[in-house]
Structure 1
Amino acid sequence: MRLRNVKKAFNRINDYEKLIKDPINYKGKWHTYFDNDNPIHIEIGMGRGRFLIEQAKKNPTINYIGFEKFTVVMVKSLDNIKEEGDISNLCVVRYDAQDILELFEENEVAKVYLNFSDPWPKERHYKRRLTYREFLKKYEIILRPEGLLCFKTDNQLLFDFSLREMQMLGMSILKETRNLHGSPWVQENIMTEYEEKFTKEGIAINMVEARFSNR
């Protein structure tokens, strides 16, 4: 995106009703924002928002919070949400997953989605991967005892790494496939923009759903 469009994105940030400008204030009391006690599902790195929008429309009794740290991308997701009209069970925060414990109390979240996260392919960058053990430990804190982590990627090396990290923490693998669109779970799957692109190119999608065993 060209520089002038980046500046426009920053200038428009405060125009969106669905953007939570003070998310730290909702820590431990997100039910007050949604005005109900429905389960909370979060997507870290929501991109343009297609996945979370479709989830929110399909499941009105679940509250969805999308995380996106890149402003230009986030503005696009907010535009897409706005085009859908009123989606009362969805909001967006601009925050880095590294600081997720600042926004949620222990056991406040029912499900965490990681869809096509940056693979950080260089070995020296492995600690930046959102499935690295230190990130997983943070998800464990905010998830309910029965909470789930759902991860999808087209990157085989990242998938292998993620499985090893989950196993290292003793997580229970409930679903696992290296060909999501050829598996029984495709019927319940909602595609992201990246997923649709990769699938059309014939690239297999990896998926795992896991739970922390010691909860």
Structure 2
Amino acid sequence: MRIIIADDHAVVRSGFMHILNFQDDMEVVATAADGLEAYALVAKHSPDILIMDLSMPPGESGLIATGKISEDFPETKVLILTMHDDEEYLYHVLKNGASGYVLKNAPDGELLMAIRTVYAGDTYIHPSMATSLVREFIKYDTSILEDDPFKILTKREIEVLPLAAKGYGNKEIAEKLFISVKTVEAHKAKIMEKLKLKNRPELVEYALRKKLLDF
């Protein structure tokens, strides 16, 4: 199995690379520090598995990158490795195309099992998280989905929203996302309109409530 590891901490990348390269059936072909780099390396190496952290500031988040990679490179299976033991995170990463979800405090054996499970074409979720996932799908009825930012907003708008909520200016957002300032302004206006928000404090409150700042 050819594997890429994406995590913003060098020591984490190094540790997991050592564990995986020790396996007879696994080889780490590259590592990335954020979602943008992960996308570029997947395009270059066409790995079987991408192990992706969710929160990778200040680069592109794992959630956004997972959606893009799943769309553009469906042959690469994305396995999320995160500290977030939260059913909403699990729901959204699976919705964005991930094939598995493992917690960072899981034993090495579970990570190896998850990689092999995903490689075989199945979905891996820790049993304790599977129960939470069922509850989350039940909870997401029509009324809740109508307030789901991942349904209301485009992927680019979801990228812009947390940056705007964190206080980045239009120019800074444009530089981070490699788009023009006018495009940023247009996205921000659409976000406020779609979410029926009147000012930045309401935007911040919304981002916190929906846990978008972690993405």
Q: Does TM, normalized by the shorter one, top 0.5?
A: no
TM-score between the two structures when normalised by the length of structure 1: 0.27
TM-score between the two structures when normalised by the length of structure 2: 0.27
Highest RCO, 1 vs 2 (Cα 8 Å, sep ≥ 6): 1
Higher strand share: 1
Structure with bigger gyration radius: 2
Higher helix share: 2
